[in-house]
Structure 1
Amino acid sequence: MTAPTPRRAVLVAALAVATAATAATVSGGSASAAAPPAPRGPGRTVDNRFWHSYEHWRAGIHQGTTAVGGARPGLEIKTPAGRTEYADPHTGRKSTWEYATWTSPVHRSTVPATEAIASWNARTPAGSWIRIELRGTYADGTATPWYVMGRWASGERDIRRTSVDGQTDGRSTVWTDTLAVDAPASGLRLTDWRLRLTLYRTPGADRGPTVWLAGAMVSDVPDRFTVPAAAPSGRAHELKVPRYSQEIHTGRYPQYDNGGEAWCSPTSSQMVIEYWGGRASASALNWVSPEYSDPQVCHAARSTYDAAYKGCGNWPFNAAYAATYRGLAGVVTRLGSLAELETLVRAGIPVITSQSFLPGELTGAGYGTAGHLMTVVGFTAAGDVVANDPNSPDNPSVRRVYRRREWENVWLRTKRHNAAGKVVSGTGGVCYLYAPAAPSAAQVAALRAVGVLESSR
C-alpha cells in the first residue's frame, strides 16, 4: 500500500480546520451548525495557462533573459542580471551564481481560485538550476508574496531540488507544491497570477538552463463527497503502456522516500515516459545495483525526490522529470469529468491520476490509501477504467480493471471519510499529463478540449 504523504496530509487537515473555523465565524455559531458555502454557478472549475511558444517567451519582463527559437522554443540567460549566493539548506554548501529573471504577463483566471499548482519543463545542464515563483492577486486587489513553488535541477550535483516550507501571508499558504487559500469558505479567492523564473548558472559559463514551458493550473472545485456520473463512450480502447510495480522495489534505496513502498508517483511517471519512447541511458543508471530489476524506476524515484518534502510525490517535480526526456512535455492539472479523461485516452494520451480511498471503496484494489498515483490506460466497452496500478505485487499484475462509478468518485471527489470517520479532502481530479512537445493534430484537439492548451497555438 502506498504510504500516506505527510505534508499533503497536513494540507488536508489544515484546509479542513480552516474551512470549519471560517464557516463557524460566518454563521455566528458552531461549525456543525454552519450553513455550507453558497453553491457556485455552472461552468469550469479549472483554469490553465502555460507559456511555451517563442511568442510567449518574448512577452513578459526580461532581466537578463532572452527568448530562443528552434524546434522547441525556450527561455535562456542572455546577459546575467547579477550574482548572488545560495546556501543549500540540505547540503550546507554555499555557492555563487550568475542569474537572470523572466516575469510572465499577468494572467487573469477564468476561475477565481482557491488553489494553484505550477508546472515547468526545463533543461539544467551541470552548473545550473532554476527557481519558480508565483504571485497571486486576491479579489480585494491585494497581492500575495512571491511564493517559491520550487528550486529545481534535474540532477543533484549543484543543488538539492526542493520545495520550500513555511511560506504564508496569513491568508494563503504553500503546502509543498500547492498554493492554497487558507479559508476558502470565507469567499476569498485568487483572481489573477503571474510567474517569475530565475535562471542560475556558474559565473562565467557560456550556457545555463533552458526553460521550455512554465505556467500553472488554478482551480476552485466545489466541496463534494460524490460527483455526477459521466456517461461512457461505449467504445473499448486501451493503450499499450509498460507495466511497472512499485512493490518489487520495497526496501531499495530507502533514502528516497523510504524505498519502493512509496514510489507510486515515479513508477507511474516511468510507465508513461516509456510509453512515449523515453529511455534512461546506461550511464544514468550505472549507480543502481545490477541486482535490481527495472533500474529505471529507481532512477525515476531519485530524479523526483524533494529534499524538503522527503518524498517522491511532489507533483510538478514528476512532470518536470518527464520533460527531461527528449521531445516530452509534462504538466499537472485537474480534469472535470471522466468524459474528459476518456477524450485524452482516445487521443493516445495515458493519464496519471491521484486518488484516495478506503479498503472496499474501490473493488479489486485490495488496499486503502491516503494518496496514490496510478495510470489510466483505457476503458472497457462498458466504460470501466483500465489502469496500470503500481501498487501490485509484480509487473504482470499491474493491469487492473476498476468499476467506473467507484473509480470516478474516488478520483473526482473533494471530500471523503477516512478510516476513523473523520472528514478529509480528496484530490478533486488532479492528474499528470505527459505528451509530445509537438503533439499530433488529434492530441492537440484533445488537449484543447480539456482546457490544457489554449485555443490557438
Structure 2
Amino acid sequence: MRRLLPSLLPGLVLTLAAPWAPVVLASGAPAEARAAGKIQSDLTGWTGEQLVDGRTAGTVVRRGRVFLKSPVTTTRVDGTTYDVGRWVSRWARPGFGFTELVASWEAKTPGDSMIEVEVRGRDASGRKSSWDSLGRWAYGDRYSERTSLGSQDDDLARVATDTWRTASSAGLERWRLRVSLLRRTGASTKPPSVGHVAATTSRRPSSSPATSKPGKVARAGGAVLDVPRYSQMVHQGHYPQWGNGGEAWCSPTSVSMVLGYYDALPKEKDYAWVPEGHAAPWVDHAARSTFDHGYDGTGNWSFNVAYAARLVGRADVSRLPDLRAVERLVADGVPVIVSIAFGSGELSGAPISASNGHLLVVVGFTADGDVVVNDPAADSPAGVRRTYDRGQLERAWLDASTGTAYVLRD
C-alpha cells in the first residue's frame, strides 16, 4: 500500500514503481520467509491521484477520487435498477504464490447508491479466474443492504465472507480489483465515489507462524496509548436485526475505540435514533453500519475498515508477521485491532474463557514485552484494559487469522 507502514516492518520492502503507480508493501524473499516460519504478506493499493493508473468505464478520476460519470450499463439489485460505471486496477503481483486476499476501500455513497468490489486472479500458467464479488457496500442502509454474496466456488478461488481463498495450495501469482459504482437510475443525487482501494494478500508458512521476542516499545521501557475503553457486553440485547449486541459486537466496538482515540467518532446526529440512556451509542451506530446481511453479522473485516475509513481517513485490513510489527505501529502512535481465536486456558486473564473469533485493540506493551489491550469482551468499560502474555496472544492471533489486523490512521 502507498505509505501505510513506512519503514516499520523489518524484512518488508516498500517500493514506488513510478510516480503514477501504487506503492507496494511487499514481504521479503519467499524462501527466506518460509524458512523462518514467517507469514508472507503484501498490501498493494491505489489512493488519491494514483487511481488514474486504473482503467475507467463510465467513471472519471477527479480530485483524487473515482466518480460515476456516464454509466456503461445498468443492473438490477433487489428489484431496483441502477446505472453502473467501473474502475479496474492493473494486475498486481505480490512476489509469492498467495492463497488468501482481503480487500479494503474508502467510498462515498450518497442517496441511493453503492459500490461493488470484485477480484480476479491469475495463476503461474496464465490461467485467469472468474470475477468474484467481495460484496456490495454502502455507508448507510436506508436504500440497500450491504452484503457479501456467497462463496462463488467455481474455478481458481472461492469467497469466505470477506476473504478470497485459492483452490490450489500453490496459490495465485497476480490479482486485480474491479470496483463498480452504482446509482439508482434517474436519481439526481451526487454520484458515488471511491478514494482508495487496496488488497492484502498472504501465504501461511508450512509450520505454525513463528512468534517474536520483545521489540522497540519494550526495550524503551513500555508504552500505552490513551485509547478509550468500551464494552461490547453492555450492548447485550440491542438491535437483534444487527446482531443483538453482546458477544456479536467485538469488531464494531474495537473500531469505535480506535475512532474515539482519533476523535473521529460519528456525530451525535448520526446516532440520534439510538434511545437515550444507551451506553456508548456510537457503538450501536458502528454495529448497524458494519452489519453484513449475507453473513448475518458485524464481523466482516472489509466492511469494518470501510466504515472506519469514512470517518478517520485511512483504514486497511492488513496481515502483519508478528507482534514486533505491532510494536512499531504503537511506537508511531497507532493502536492496532487484531483478530484472534483461543481455547480454554490459552489466553490467561481474558474476560471470556474461549472464542472461535474475537477482535480487540492492542494499545501498548510492558517493559517485559507483554501486550496491553482494550478487550471489548469485558462486562463493563472498567474491565476493558488488560495485559496478556505476549506468547499466548501472539499465538492466538497468528494461528487464527494469519496476523489479520485493522490499521486505522488519521
TM range (shorter): 0.7 to 0.9
- Secondary structure, aligned partner of 1:401: strand
Partner SS for 2:362: strand
Structure-2 residue corresponding to 1:74:
65
Shift of 1:359: 2.0
Give a deviation string over 1:345-367, Cα, whole Å, max 9, x none: 10011000001111211111142
Matched, 1:131 2:113: no
| Equivalent residue number for residue 46 of structure 2 | 51
Matches within 5 A, 1:116-127: 116-127=101-112
SS at match of 2:93: strand
Q: With the length of structure 1 as denominator, give the TM-score of the two structures.
A: 0.79
> Equivalent of 2:354, from 349, 368, 371?
368
Task: Determine the C-alpha separation between the residues in 2 that align with 1:74 and 1:202.
Answer: 20
- Is 1:432 the counterpart of 2:406? The answer is yes
8 Å Cα contact 2:130/2:155 also seen in 1: no
Could you tell me which amino acid in structure 2 is paired with residue 211 of structure 1?
A: V
The structure-2 alpha-carbon separation of the partners of 1:166 and 1:79, relative to structure 1 and needing over 3 Å to count, comes to same
Distance, in Å, in 1 between the alignment partners of 2:265 and 2:165 is 35
1:355 and 2:329 correspond: no
Q: Report what 1:194 is aligned to.
A: 176
Query: 1:176 and 1:44, CA in 2 relative to 1: closer, same or farther beyond 3 A?
Result: closer
Measure the CA separation in 1 of the matches of 2:70 and 2:42.
34
- CA distance in structure 2 between the aligned counterparts of 1:46 and 1:323, rounded to whole angstroms: 22
Contact 2:69-2:191 within 8 A present in 1 as well: no
Matches within 5 A, 1:290-305: 290-305=276-291
Deviations 1:139-191 (A, max 9, x none): 2211111000110000112210000113112442101010112342xxx2110
Q: Identify the match of residue 208 of structure 1 among 191, 207, 232.
A: 191
Are 1:101 and 2:86 matched, yes or no?
yes
Q: Share of identical aligned residues, percent?
A: 40
1: CA distance between counterparts of 2:52 and 2:337? 32
Counterpart of 2:57? 63
Corresponding residue for 2:22?
Answer: none
Aligned amino acid, residue 68 of structure 1: R
Q: In the alignment, which of 232, 241, 251 is matched to residue 246 of structure 1? A: 232
**How far apart, CA to CA, are the structure 2 residues paired with 1:244 and 1:53?**
33
- 1:221 pairs, out of 184, 204, 220, with 204
Q: How far 1:227 sits from its partner (Å)?
A: 2.2
* 3-state DSSP of counterpart to 1:121: strand
Distance across 1 between alignment mates of 2:128 and 2:56: 21
Q: Identify which of 143, 149, 152 aligns with 1:167.
A: 152
Q: Which moved more, 1:204-213 or 1:128-137?
A: 204-213
**Cα distance in 1 between the residues matched to 2:43 and 2:245:** 33
Aligned to 1:361, the other structure's residue is in SS state coil
Paired letter, 1:337: D
Q: Do the aligned partners of 1:331 and 1:434 also contact (CA within 8 Å) in 2?
A: yes
Output the amino acid matched with 2:47: H
Q: How does the TM-score come out when normalised to structure 2?
A: 0.87
Deviations 1:382-425 (A, max 9, x none): 11100000000100110001111211221112xxxxxxxxxxxx
Counterpart secondary structure, 2:194: strand
Q: Which consecutive residues of structure 1, in runs of 5 or more, have no partner in the other structure?
A: 1-38, 88-93, 414-425, 437-457
Report if the CA contact (8 A) 1:251-1:261 is conserved: no
2 CA distance for matches of 1:230 and 1:146? 41
Q: Which of 268, 278, 302 is the aligned partner of 1:282?
A: 268
Letter in 1 for 2:58: G
Report Cα offsets for 1:289-330 as digits up to 9, x if no partner. 2131111111110100000000000000000000121x5211
Deviation at 1:281, TM superposition (A): 2.0
The answer as to whether partners of 2:231 and 2:376 remain within 8 angstroms in 1 is yes
- What is the aligned residue count? 372
Amino acid at match of 1:197: V
Cα distance in 2 for residues equivalent to 1:189 and 1:357: 27
Q: 1:332 to 1:226 in 2, by over 3 A?
A: closer
Task: Compute the RMSD of aligned alpha carbons.
Answer: 1.6
Secondary structure in 2 aligned to 1:255?
Answer: helix
Alignment of 1:372-383 (within 5 A): 372-383=358-369
1:86 matched to 2:65? The reply is no
Whole-Å Cα distance in 1 between the matches of residues 113 and 248 of structure 2?
Answer: 29
Match of 1:340 among 308, 325, 350: 325
Instruction: Say whether the 8 Å CA contact 1:106–1:192 is kept in structure 2.
Output: yes
Query: Is the 2:213–2:369 contact (alpha carbons within 8 Å) kept by the matching residues of 1?
Result: no
Q: Which runs of 5+ in 2 are unaligned?
A: 1-32
SS in 2 for 1:263: helix
Q: CA deviation at 1:80?
A: 1.8
AA aligned opposite 2:248 = A
What is the CA–CA distance in structure 2 between the aligned matches of 1:44 and 1:279, rounded to whole Å? 33
Amino acid at match of 2:203: D
